[in-house]
Amino acid sequence: MTEPAVGTTVSTRLIEATVATAEDIARALRTRPDATARIPGAVWSVGEAAAHLAMANRLMADLARGLDRPYGDGTPASLAAANAESLAADPERDPLVLAEAIVQHTRDFAEDVAARPGTRPVLTPLGPMDLATLASYLLTHMLGHGYDLARALGQPHMIDRERVDLSLPFLLTAMPRVVDTRTAAGRHIRYAIGVRGGRLFGVTVADGAVTVDQQPPRRPDCTIVTEPVTFFLMALGRRTPLQAIARGGILAWGRKPWLAPAFPTFFTAP
Protein backbone atom coordinates (compact mmCIF):
# COMPACT_ATOMS: atom_id res chain seq x y z
CA MET A 1 0.00 0.00 0.00
CA THR A 2 1.16 3.51 -0.66
CA GLU A 3 1.65 5.83 2.29
CA PRO A 4 0.16 9.30 1.81
CA ALA A 5 1.44 12.40 3.48
CA VAL A 6 0.75 12.12 7.21
CA GLY A 7 -1.21 15.14 8.36
CA THR A 8 0.46 18.13 6.77
CA THR A 9 3.93 16.60 6.52
CA VAL A 10 5.62 14.38 3.96
CA SER A 11 5.91 10.73 4.96
CA THR A 12 9.09 9.99 6.90
CA ARG A 13 9.32 6.67 5.05
CA LEU A 14 9.37 8.52 1.75
CA ILE A 15 12.03 10.99 2.86
CA GLU A 16 14.22 8.22 4.28
CA ALA A 17 13.84 6.05 1.16
CA THR A 18 14.82 8.99 -1.03
CA VAL A 19 18.02 9.64 0.94
CA ALA A 20 18.81 5.92 1.08
CA THR A 21 18.45 5.64 -2.71
CA ALA A 22 20.85 8.54 -3.20
CA GLU A 23 23.32 6.78 -0.91
CA ASP A 24 22.91 3.53 -2.88
CA ILE A 25 23.68 5.35 -6.12
CA ALA A 26 26.67 7.13 -4.56
CA ARG A 27 28.00 3.81 -3.26
CA ALA A 28 28.04 2.47 -6.82
CA LEU A 29 29.75 5.58 -8.14
CA ARG A 30 32.39 5.47 -5.40
CA THR A 31 33.75 2.26 -6.93
CA ARG A 32 35.47 4.59 -9.43
CA PRO A 33 33.80 3.27 -12.60
CA ASP A 34 34.82 4.38 -16.08
CA ALA A 35 32.78 7.54 -16.61
CA THR A 36 32.79 7.00 -20.38
CA ALA A 37 31.25 3.50 -20.17
CA ARG A 38 27.95 3.37 -22.02
CA ILE A 39 24.69 2.44 -20.32
CA PRO A 40 23.04 -0.54 -22.09
CA GLY A 41 20.16 0.58 -24.27
CA ALA A 42 20.67 4.27 -23.45
CA VAL A 43 22.33 7.26 -25.10
CA TRP A 44 24.17 8.38 -21.96
CA SER A 45 27.45 7.25 -20.45
CA VAL A 46 27.86 6.50 -16.75
CA GLY A 47 29.32 9.97 -16.21
CA GLU A 48 26.48 11.68 -18.08
CA ALA A 49 23.79 9.77 -16.16
CA ALA A 50 25.48 10.64 -12.85
CA ALA A 51 25.78 14.29 -13.89
CA HIS A 52 22.11 14.35 -14.84
CA LEU A 53 21.16 12.96 -11.43
CA ALA A 54 23.26 15.55 -9.63
CA MET A 55 21.69 18.39 -11.62
CA ALA A 56 18.16 16.99 -11.32
CA ASN A 57 18.49 16.55 -7.56
CA ARG A 58 19.67 20.15 -7.26
CA LEU A 59 16.67 21.23 -9.34
CA MET A 60 14.30 19.27 -7.08
CA ALA A 61 15.88 20.77 -3.96
CA ASP A 62 15.37 24.25 -5.41
CA LEU A 63 11.73 23.45 -6.18
CA ALA A 64 11.18 22.16 -2.64
CA ARG A 65 12.70 25.41 -1.38
CA GLY A 66 10.11 27.34 -3.39
CA LEU A 67 12.40 28.61 -6.15
CA ASP A 68 11.14 29.00 -9.72
CA ARG A 69 13.18 26.68 -11.97
CA PRO A 70 11.64 26.28 -15.45
CA TYR A 71 12.74 23.04 -17.13
CA GLY A 72 11.00 22.21 -20.40
CA ASP A 73 7.25 22.26 -20.87
CA GLY A 74 6.44 18.76 -19.63
CA THR A 75 6.61 16.99 -22.98
CA PRO A 76 9.21 14.24 -23.51
CA ALA A 77 10.88 16.21 -26.32
CA SER A 78 11.23 19.37 -24.24
CA LEU A 79 12.57 17.44 -21.25
CA ALA A 80 15.14 15.72 -23.47
CA ALA A 81 16.21 19.10 -24.82
CA ALA A 82 16.48 20.56 -21.31
CA ASN A 83 18.54 17.55 -20.22
CA ALA A 84 20.93 17.97 -23.14
CA GLU A 85 21.29 21.69 -22.46
CA SER A 86 22.03 21.18 -18.76
CA LEU A 87 24.62 18.46 -19.49
CA ALA A 88 26.35 20.68 -22.02
CA ALA A 89 26.48 23.54 -19.51
CA ASP A 90 28.20 21.50 -16.79
CA PRO A 91 31.12 19.30 -17.92
CA GLU A 92 31.73 17.56 -14.56
CA ARG A 93 31.80 13.77 -15.11
CA ASP A 94 33.96 12.51 -12.23
CA PRO A 95 31.89 9.77 -10.52
CA LEU A 96 33.35 10.57 -7.09
CA VAL A 97 32.49 14.27 -7.32
CA LEU A 98 29.02 13.50 -8.66
CA ALA A 99 28.36 10.88 -5.97
CA GLU A 100 28.85 13.54 -3.29
CA ALA A 101 26.68 16.03 -5.18
CA ILE A 102 23.83 13.53 -5.58
CA VAL A 103 23.80 12.80 -1.85
CA GLN A 104 24.18 16.43 -0.77
CA HIS A 105 21.37 17.72 -3.00
CA THR A 106 19.12 14.88 -1.82
CA ARG A 107 19.84 15.71 1.81
CA ASP A 108 19.11 19.37 1.08
CA PHE A 109 15.82 18.30 -0.49
CA ALA A 110 14.94 16.12 2.49
CA GLU A 111 15.66 18.94 4.93
CA ASP A 112 13.55 21.42 2.97
CA VAL A 113 10.65 18.98 2.52
CA ALA A 114 10.58 18.01 6.19
CA ALA A 115 10.17 21.67 7.14
CA ARG A 116 7.20 22.37 4.84
CA PRO A 117 3.61 21.12 4.46
CA GLY A 118 3.28 18.11 2.19
CA THR A 119 0.25 19.72 0.57
CA ARG A 120 2.21 22.78 -0.55
CA PRO A 121 1.85 23.23 -4.35
CA VAL A 122 4.96 23.28 -6.52
CA LEU A 123 5.49 23.62 -10.26
CA THR A 124 7.67 20.81 -11.61
CA PRO A 125 9.00 19.74 -15.02
CA LEU A 126 5.89 17.55 -15.31
CA GLY A 127 3.44 20.20 -14.19
CA PRO A 128 1.92 21.20 -10.85
CA MET A 129 1.83 18.78 -7.93
CA ASP A 130 2.10 18.96 -4.17
CA LEU A 131 5.33 18.66 -2.23
CA ALA A 132 4.65 15.07 -1.15
CA THR A 133 4.23 14.02 -4.77
CA LEU A 134 7.41 15.91 -5.68
CA ALA A 135 9.26 13.77 -3.13
CA SER A 136 7.81 10.67 -4.79
CA TYR A 137 8.93 12.13 -8.15
CA LEU A 138 12.51 12.52 -6.92
CA LEU A 139 12.57 8.96 -5.60
CA THR A 140 11.16 7.60 -8.88
CA HIS A 141 13.66 9.58 -10.95
CA MET A 142 16.63 8.34 -8.92
CA LEU A 143 15.44 4.74 -8.99
CA GLY A 144 15.13 4.81 -12.78
CA HIS A 145 18.59 6.22 -13.42
CA GLY A 146 20.05 4.25 -10.53
CA TYR A 147 18.80 1.09 -12.23
CA ASP A 148 20.57 2.16 -15.44
CA LEU A 149 23.82 2.79 -13.58
CA ALA A 150 23.60 -0.54 -11.75
CA ARG A 151 23.17 -2.38 -15.04
CA ALA A 152 26.10 -0.57 -16.60
CA LEU A 153 28.33 -1.33 -13.60
CA GLY A 154 27.19 -4.92 -13.12
CA GLN A 155 25.83 -4.19 -9.65
CA PRO A 156 22.48 -4.99 -7.96
CA HIS A 157 19.81 -2.36 -8.53
CA MET A 158 18.13 -0.55 -5.64
CA ILE A 159 14.46 -1.07 -6.57
CA ASP A 160 12.34 -2.99 -4.07
CA ARG A 161 8.69 -3.31 -3.11
CA GLU A 162 8.71 -0.50 -0.55
CA ARG A 163 10.36 1.96 -2.90
CA VAL A 164 7.95 1.03 -5.69
CA ASP A 165 5.03 1.64 -3.30
CA LEU A 166 6.46 5.04 -2.43
CA SER A 167 6.84 5.88 -6.13
CA LEU A 168 3.16 5.26 -6.87
CA PRO A 169 1.85 8.73 -5.90
CA PHE A 170 4.07 10.26 -8.57
CA LEU A 171 3.46 7.55 -11.17
CA LEU A 172 -0.31 7.89 -10.83
CA THR A 173 -0.06 11.68 -11.05
CA ALA A 174 2.18 11.48 -14.12
CA MET A 175 0.13 8.97 -16.12
CA PRO A 176 -2.36 11.46 -17.61
CA ARG A 177 0.53 13.83 -18.41
CA VAL A 178 2.61 11.37 -20.44
CA VAL A 179 -0.11 9.90 -22.66
CA ASP A 180 0.89 8.94 -26.18
CA THR A 181 -2.13 10.43 -27.92
CA ARG A 182 -1.37 8.54 -31.12
CA THR A 183 -1.73 5.08 -29.60
CA ALA A 184 -4.55 6.13 -27.25
CA ALA A 185 -6.62 7.84 -29.96
CA GLY A 186 -9.93 6.13 -30.63
CA ARG A 187 -9.52 3.69 -27.73
CA HIS A 188 -12.09 3.34 -24.94
CA ILE A 189 -10.87 0.93 -22.27
CA ARG A 190 -11.37 0.66 -18.51
CA TYR A 191 -8.46 -0.95 -16.69
CA ALA A 192 -8.00 -2.07 -13.10
CA ILE A 193 -4.27 -1.86 -12.42
CA GLY A 194 -2.38 -3.09 -9.40
CA VAL A 195 0.96 -4.10 -7.96
CA ARG A 196 1.04 -7.66 -6.64
CA GLY A 197 0.22 -7.66 -2.94
CA GLY A 198 -1.17 -4.11 -3.04
CA ARG A 199 -4.39 -2.36 -3.95
CA LEU A 200 -5.99 -1.84 -7.35
CA PHE A 201 -6.59 1.56 -8.96
CA GLY A 202 -8.47 2.54 -12.09
CA VAL A 203 -7.11 3.83 -15.39
CA THR A 204 -9.54 4.81 -18.12
CA VAL A 205 -8.39 5.41 -21.69
CA ALA A 206 -10.90 7.54 -23.60
CA ASP A 207 -10.04 8.67 -27.11
CA GLY A 208 -6.55 10.00 -26.52
CA ALA A 209 -6.94 10.97 -22.86
CA VAL A 210 -6.30 9.06 -19.64
CA THR A 211 -7.86 9.48 -16.22
CA VAL A 212 -6.63 7.78 -13.06
CA ASP A 213 -8.90 6.92 -10.12
CA GLN A 214 -7.92 5.75 -6.65
CA GLN A 215 -10.51 2.96 -6.94
CA PRO A 216 -10.82 0.43 -9.81
CA PRO A 217 -13.86 0.61 -12.11
CA ARG A 218 -16.83 -1.57 -11.14
CA ARG A 219 -16.66 -3.47 -14.43
CA PRO A 220 -13.16 -3.18 -15.86
CA ASP A 221 -12.48 -4.46 -19.33
CA CYS A 222 -9.13 -5.79 -18.18
CA THR A 223 -7.45 -6.27 -14.80
CA ILE A 224 -3.65 -6.28 -14.71
CA VAL A 225 -1.61 -7.17 -11.63
CA THR A 226 2.16 -6.86 -11.94
CA GLU A 227 5.11 -7.88 -9.78
CA PRO A 228 6.37 -4.63 -8.14
CA VAL A 229 9.80 -4.29 -9.77
CA THR A 230 8.34 -5.28 -13.14
CA PHE A 231 5.60 -2.67 -12.75
CA PHE A 232 8.15 0.02 -12.03
CA LEU A 233 10.48 -0.91 -14.90
CA MET A 234 7.61 -1.01 -17.37
CA ALA A 235 6.31 2.35 -16.12
CA LEU A 236 9.71 3.92 -16.80
CA GLY A 237 10.19 2.21 -20.15
CA ARG A 238 13.01 -0.05 -18.90
CA ARG A 239 11.14 -3.27 -19.65
CA THR A 240 8.70 -4.12 -22.44
CA PRO A 241 5.39 -5.98 -21.93
CA LEU A 242 6.76 -8.98 -23.82
CA GLN A 243 9.82 -9.11 -21.56
CA ALA A 244 7.59 -8.85 -18.50
CA ILE A 245 5.25 -11.60 -19.72
CA ALA A 246 8.20 -13.86 -20.54
CA ARG A 247 9.50 -13.43 -16.97
CA GLY A 248 6.09 -14.20 -15.47
CA GLY A 249 5.77 -10.71 -14.02
CA ILE A 250 2.22 -10.00 -15.21
CA LEU A 251 -1.20 -11.54 -14.58
CA ALA A 252 -4.21 -10.33 -16.59
CA TRP A 253 -7.85 -11.34 -16.57
CA GLY A 254 -11.35 -9.97 -17.14
CA ARG A 255 -13.75 -9.58 -20.02
CA LYS A 256 -10.96 -8.57 -22.43
CA PRO A 257 -7.63 -9.83 -21.06
CA TRP A 258 -6.00 -9.47 -24.47
CA LEU A 259 -5.96 -5.70 -23.87
CA ALA A 260 -3.21 -6.08 -21.24
CA PRO A 261 -0.18 -5.80 -23.59
CA ALA A 262 -1.57 -2.56 -25.04
CA PHE A 263 -1.62 -0.73 -21.70
CA PRO A 264 2.05 0.39 -21.60
CA THR A 265 1.86 1.57 -25.21
CA PHE A 266 -0.53 4.35 -24.21
CA PHE A 267 2.29 6.19 -22.39
CA THR A 268 5.64 7.75 -23.28
CA ALA A 269 8.14 7.58 -20.44
CA PRO A 270 9.60 11.09 -19.92
Residue 94 shares a structural domain with residue 160:
yes
Q: Spell out the residues 6+ positions from residue 22 whose beta carbon is closer than 8 angstroms to its own.
A: 57, 102, 103, 106, 107, 142
> 144-197: per-residue pLDDT in tens?
999 999 999 999 999 999 999 999 999 999 999 999 999 999 999 999 999 999
Residue 4 reports pLDDT greater than 50: no
- In a domain? residue 7: no
pLDDT of residue 240: 84
Residue 96 shares a structural domain with residue 211:
no
Window from 7-16, 48-57, 128-137, 195-204 with minimum mean pLDDT: 7-16
- In a domain? residue 19: yes
pLDDT of residue 37: 95
Residue 169 shares a structural domain with residue 89:
yes
Q: Spell out the residues 6+ positions from residue 128 whose beta carbon is closer than 8 angstroms to its own.
A: 121, 122
> 65-122: per-residue pLDDT in tens?
999 888 988 888 889 899 999 999 999 999 999 999 999 999 999 999 998 999 999 9
Residue 216 reports pLDDT greater than 60: yes
pLDDT of residue 7: 47
Q: What is the DSSP string of 108-142?
A: HHHHHHHTS-TT-EEEETTEEEEHHHHHHHHHHHH
> 16-38: per-residue pLDDT in tens?
999 999 999 999 999 999 999 99
Tally of domains in the chain = 2
Residue 162 shares a structural domain with residue 245:
no
- In a domain? residue 186: yes
Residue 191 shares a structural domain with residue 247:
yes
Distance from C-alpha of 74 to C-alpha of 80, rounded to nearest angstrom: 10
Query: Which of these three, 175, 191, 206, is where a domain ends?
Result: 175
Residue 136 shares a structural domain with residue 189:
no
- In a domain? residue 3: no
Give me the CATH number covering residue 196.
Answer: 3.30.1050.10
Q: How confident is the model at residue 232 (pLDDT cuts 50, 70, 90)?
A: very high
pLDDT of residue 2: 44
Residue 61 reports pLDDT greater than 90: yes
- In a domain? residue 45: yes
Residue 162 shares a structural domain with residue 182:
no
* pTM, 2 dp: 0.93
Q: Are 26 and 134 in contact (CB under 8 A)?
A: no
Query: Which of these three, 158, 175, 192, is where a domain ends?
Result: 175
* Closest to 228 (Cα-Cα) out of 197, 261, 192, 195: 195
- In a domain? residue 2: no
Residue 5 reports pLDDT greater than 80: no
Q: How far is CA 160 from CA 10, 147, 256, in A?
A: 20, 11, 30
- In a domain? residue 6: no
pLDDT of residue 89: 94
Residue 142 shares a structural domain with residue 77:
yes
Query: Which of these three, 175, 202, 225, is where a domain ends?
Result: 175
Residue 72 shares a structural domain with residue 196:
no
Count of beta carbons in the 10 Å neighbourhood of residue 106: 28
Reported residue count of the chain is 270
- For residue 129, the enclosing domain spans 12-175
